[in-house]
Amino acid sequence: MIILGIETSCDETSAAVLHNDTVISNVTVVQYFHSRYGGVVPELASRAHQRLIVPIVDEAINKASVSKKDISAIAAVKGPGLIGSLVVGLSFAKAMSVGLSIPFVGVNHLEAHLLSPFLESTKPEFPFVSLTVSGGHTQLVYVKNFFEYEVLGTTLDDAAGEAFDKVAKMLGIGYPGGPLIDKLAREGNAEAVKFPRPWLNDDSFSFSFSGLKTSVLYYLKKYNFKPTEAPTQFVKDVCAGFQASVVEVLVGKLIRAAKKKAVKTVAVAGGVAANTALRKYLEAEAQKYGLTVCIPRLEYCTDNAAMVAFVGYKYLCHKKESPLTIAVEPNLQLVSQGDISEQRNARDCTLA
């Protein structure tokens, strides 16, 4: 099966071609111009998707050395995300499926992040606990099998990536904040300023980062901080201290969830999974508790169409096409489909 995937939920326009579950091409354009405004401007994002969708899809198809008539099915994100951005990708995918007379699948962006570790050759073994950490979401999920999920906890306010972006804005270092804080923190001293570890020691698997963000704000006020052209040592120390707090909370809860669910594998996905301190700390903690860690390469951590095509492939293997009448769902949550083992291998996955 040759699947074309399309991702346009926020500010990345991405298209990918998979041969069954193997990525042949994955082309992503990040709309960096939003940094000028300190965050994603929804109307500009959807206009940019409109401009980019045709060339990006063409490039993904060319890079995969296939032609349009080789494509067996098309998968696109239906939500969650920005409504205008979602509409561009979903409408394009529906039109293409009609034009080529091939099946179409609307994909949940959260499920795509959750299953992104399967794009790598070393795949997670079921059951595992996954931490999805992006600009819009922070959630811990017990993954029993494909389609069978139990959400253990989510954020009660800001997502982890959102907290990175907001703290970067306070520090005047730019957008998106995650990669910038990650870089500056390497030159900072995390011990110089110790921020609270919100909800780390409570029994729940909920997260809350807005109090931490306020602590950073008070700290900056206390020192009468004014952003400068070049980041000072003070800024680097705040970056290191803030990042250490987020990383300790995320990894601490992930390990606790793994112990509670008695799994041997943990996975991390979403843009914040690109964070170098998180990766390093998780490796060390996982080793302590004998856990295997699955984190996809950076290209598959941030928004990308390969993860969307993968979910599309899995759904098609279980005869789960979407009708063309589906609409975008900007507030879609992760949905468990329950045990569908009786349907497993229901379809010949070599379609066309």
Binding site for ligand KG4 (CB under 6 A): 10, 134-136, 161-162, 164-165, 176-179, 182, 270-272, 274-275, 302-303
- Rounded to a whole number of angstroms, the minimum distance from the CB of residue 189 to ligand KG4 is 18
E-strand spans in the chain? 2-7, 12-19, 22-30, 73-79, 104-108, 128-133, 138-145, 148-154, 265-269, 292-294
Strands 73-79 and 2-7: parallel
AA identity, residue 85: S
Q: Report the interface residues with Zn ion, using CB under 5 A.
A: 134, 303
Q: Which helix (H) or strand (E) holds 306?
A: helix 305-317
| Tokens found for residue 113 | 């992040």
| Tokens found for residue 8 | 């346009």
Q: Which residue is nearest to Zn ion (CB)?
A: 134
Give the one entry of ligand KG4, Zn ion, none that residue 251 binds, where binding means its C-beta sits below a cut-off of 5 to 8 angstroms depending on kind.
none
- Rounded to a whole number of angstroms, the minimum distance from the CB of residue 236 to ligand KG4 is 15
User: Cα–Cα distance between 350 and 217 in angstroms, integer?
Assistant: 55
Tokens 């009660």 correspond to 156
- Rounded to a whole number of angstroms, the minimum distance from the CB of residue 45 to ligand KG4 is 12
- Rounded to a whole number of angstroms, the minimum distance from the CB of residue 113 to ligand KG4 is 6
Q: Which is nearer to ligand KG4, 5 or 136 (CB)?
A: 136
User: Cα–Cα distance between 158 and 166 in angstroms, integer?
Assistant: 10
Q: Which is nearer to Zn ion, 302 or 322 (CB)?
A: 302
Q: Which is nearer to ligand KG4, 34 or 94 (CB)?
A: 34
User: Cα–Cα distance between 216 and 305 in angstroms, integer?
Assistant: 35
CA neighbor of 74 nearest in space, from 296, 300, 299, 315: 315
- Rounded to a whole number of angstroms, the minimum distance from the CB of residue 338 to ligand KG4 is 26
Give the one entry of ligand KG4, Zn ion, none that residue 329 binds, where binding means its C-beta sits below a cut-off of 5 to 8 angstroms depending on kind.
none
Q: Which is nearer to Zn ion, 11 or 303 (CB)?
A: 303
Enumerate residues 6+ apart whose C-beta is below 8 A from 230.
none
Q: Which is nearer to ligand KG4, 2 or 244 (CB)?
A: 244
Give the one entry of Zn ion, ligand KG4, none that residue 164 binds, where binding means its C-beta sits below a cut-off of 5 to 8 angstroms depending on kind.
ligand KG4
